Amino acid sequence: MKSKIHRGEVALGVSLMFPCPQLVEMLAYAGFDWVLIDCEHGSIGPADIEVMAMAADACGITAIARPRSNDAADIQAVLDRGVKGVQIPHINSRTDAERAVAAVKFGPGAGRGLAAGTRPDRWGLGGRMPDFAAQANAQSLVCVQIEHQQAVANVDEILKVDGIDVFFIGPSDLSQSMGFPGNPKAPPVAEAIERTLGKIRAAGKAPGMPATTESLPWVTGQGCRYVYNHLPRILDAGASEFLGTLTKR
């Protein structure tokens, strides 16, 4: 998934807010590239993350987790369960972004603890720990969320931080931050989103956003490569089509 994004291709995912490894499998077989295990807004706990990551590994879909916060302890907690990357909320400054990267990567001055016997290290049975640390640093995906008015104002500095793969704009929280809760199409919010997407593209970085069936062409047309929809919206679209067949007869 990380390589696909860096090649300029679109990686499509689905956000899950409750524990269900079977749904991870279904999304893989349906053809999605990745699944977002949402620990910020949902009911997913550490043990659930681990089982859902196992399901993802078994069927070839990439598991990304959104931790409860941008705190280093919350970031490490999801990584130690075996997900391949993190979508870190509430990154409002260059300092926030630097701390987020440090919480994901191993190395001098980094904030991530290196523990023996974790699942991503194959429980300590897969080889040398230095090899694991190097591989984890190379393969782990770092996505930071730009979702506050302060973050939009600081985006030029945030874009200078090394080690970030995706700069994700969160329309819902951004609309709330700007005084238009739940209305990302309000002109000031829409303008801020387009302006920020332009800055991300101009810096040669990968933008990300959520998308519905209706908004997907616009989102991908804006250069977004990291794109997901929420499971309830996908179910709603499928249910509406199915139930509507009787009224169309």
Write down the domain spans for the chain. 2-248
Cβ–Cβ under 8 Å, residues 54 and 73: no
pLDDT at 233: 94
200-207 long-range Cβ contacts below 8 angstroms, 24+ apart? 200/155, 200/159, 200/167, 203/159, 205/159, 205/164, 205/166, 205/167, 206/5, 206/6, 206/165, 206/166, 206/167, 207/166, 207/167, 207/168, 207/169
Taking residues 214-234, report their average pLDDT. Answer: 97
**Does the structure show a pLDDT above 90 at 229?**
yes
Running DSSP on this structure, what letter comes out for residue 33?
Answer: S
pTM for this structure? 0.94
**25-34, 38-47, 105-114: the lowest-pLDDT one:** 105-114
- Identify the band that residue 71 occupies on the pLDDT scale cut at 50, 70 and 90: very high
Cβ–Cβ under 8 Å, residues 62 and 34: yes
Active-site residue among 6, 41, 148, 230? 41
**Does the structure show a pLDDT above 70 at 205?**
yes
- Identify the band that residue 135 occupies on the pLDDT scale cut at 50, 70 and 90: very high
The topology under which CATH files domain 2-248 is TIM Barrel (3.20.20)
Q: Does the annotation mark 90 as catalytic?
A: no
What are the tens digits of pLDDT across the range 93-132? 999 999 999 999 998 766 788 888 899 998 989 888 999 9
